[in-house]
């Protein structure tokens, strides 16, 4: 799976940004664990969550400070609430080339429609996965939107 990190680094290089990927001392399966290791607010952790909408992937890059509201997503996307499900680990691996727990918002083998949580814009810098559970990179909300070709969106109920 080290290739996943290299694909992330390649996207960062092509975009002209910093290619610096930080390896954490331990795997960080939650936003809280990642924030603790980095010494930053949990809201500055950008978690990449994959959803399955009738076999089509949707990537939601959300602030670690809250949970994605699938009812809100359904309204935003104009689909029935029951159509949006958290993807299985197998689906995530197939569409991103990365395993659950280390999914990056970039470096996937195919383009994935992406929504980027506007709550991330409250932080001057955010940290997001880099392809493995113990790897992250620092970026900004604006760069996340640019790198992912994502759509800024409200993804959690206030």
Could you give the CA distance from residue 44 to residue 64 in angstroms, rounded to a whole number? 7
pLDDT score, position 50: 98
* Max intra-chain CA distance, the chain: 42
Which domains are present in the chain?
2-153 (3.90.960.10)
Position 29 scores a pLDDT of 78
pLDDT at residue number 144: 95
pTM above 0.85, yes or no: yes
Intervals of the chain under pLDDT 50: 1
Between the CA of residue 155 and those of 23, 78, 114, 118, what are the distances in Å?
A: 28, 14, 11, 8
Cα angle at 27 between 23 and 30, to 5 degrees?
Answer: 115
What pLDDT does 2 receive? 65
């Amino acid at each position: 799976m080290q290739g996943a990190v290299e694909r992330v680094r390649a996207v960062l290089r092509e975009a002209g940004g910093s290619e610096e990927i930080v390896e954490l001392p331990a795997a960080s399966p939650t936003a809280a664990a990642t924030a603790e290791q980095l010494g930053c607010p949990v809201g500055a952790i950008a978690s990449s969550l994959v959803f399955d909408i009738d076999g089509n992937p949707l990537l939601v890059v959300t602030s670690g400070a809250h949970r994605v509201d699938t009812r809100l997503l359904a309204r935003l996307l104009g689909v029935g609430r029951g159509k949006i499900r958290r993807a299985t680990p197998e689906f995530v691996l197939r569409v991103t080339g990365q395993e659950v727990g280390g999914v990056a918002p970039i470096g996937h083998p195919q383009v994935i429609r992406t929504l980027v949580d506007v709550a991330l814009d409250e932080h001057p810098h955010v940290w997001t996965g880099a392809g493995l559970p113990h790897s992250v990179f620092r970026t900004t909300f604006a760069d996340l939107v640019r790198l992912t070709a994502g759509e800024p969106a409200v993804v959690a109920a206030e």
